């Protein structure tokens, strides 16, 4: 089930994009900065907790997601790009991985491993000088 982020919970700021851009670069603020406060959002508490626990550099210590979008030349496309990246981040926190069930190596795989070690040891032993004991 995809989570819906209400537009009222997202704060937008138009900023100037970095890098080369010709004559237009100093006149137009085509990049956008998205700010989303996790704690004040309407997301479920479990998703908020997992989102705060993510080790992502875009999440501040105060629990605010800051995304800067400047890939495209138009502000509208950067706006869509930033919103898409926020959705990906929230979806990543919304999915819960199933718990890992530990497995044991099979007897044949253990035997293959030991046989390979023995073969490798014989190859190395054959490199020694003849007559040294």
Residue 133 domain-assigned (yes or no): no
Report residue 9: phi and psi, to 5°: -85, -5
Give 41-44's long-range contacts (Cβ < 8 A, gap of 24+).
41/5, 41/9, 42/6, 42/9, 43/3, 43/5, 43/90, 44/3
Nearest-angstrom CA–CA distance, 81 and 78? 5
Residue 31 domain-assigned (yes or no): yes
Q: Do residues 65 and 47 touch, judged by C-beta distance below 8 A?
A: no
Q: How many domains does the chain have?
A: 1
Residue 60 domain-assigned (yes or no): yes
Q: What is the pLDDT along the chain (133 residues), one digit of tens a residue?
A: 568 888 888 899 888 877 766 666 667 778 899 999 998 888 889 989 998 888 889 999 888 999 999 888 888 999 999 999 999 999 988 888 899 999 999 999 999 999 999 999 999 999 988 776 5
Residue 38 domain-assigned (yes or no): yes
For 64, the 3-state DSSP assignment is strand
Q: What is the pTM of this model?
A: 0.69
Report the CATH number that the domain containing residue 84 is assigned in CATH: 3.30.160.20
Residue 103 domain-assigned (yes or no): no
Structural domain boundaries enclosing 11: 7-94
Q: Do residues 63 and 94 touch, judged by C-beta distance below 8 A?
A: no
């Amino acid at each position: 089930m995809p989570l819906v982020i209400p537009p009222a919970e997202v704060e937008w700021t138009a900023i100037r994009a970095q890098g080369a851009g010709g004559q237009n670069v100093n006149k137009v603020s085509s990049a956008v900065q998205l700010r989303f406060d996790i704690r004040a959002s309407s997301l479920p508490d479990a998703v908020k907790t997992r989102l705060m626990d993510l080790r992502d550099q875009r999440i501040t210590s105060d629990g605010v997601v800051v995304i800067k979008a400047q890939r495209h030349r138009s502000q509208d496309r950067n706006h869509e790009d930033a919103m898409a990246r926020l959705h990906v981040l929230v979806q990543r926190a919304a999915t819960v991985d199933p718990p890992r069930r530990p497995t044991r190596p099979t007897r044949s795989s253990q035997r293959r491993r030991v046989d390979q070690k023995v073969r490798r040891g014989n190859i190395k032993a054959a490199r020694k000088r003849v007559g040294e004991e």
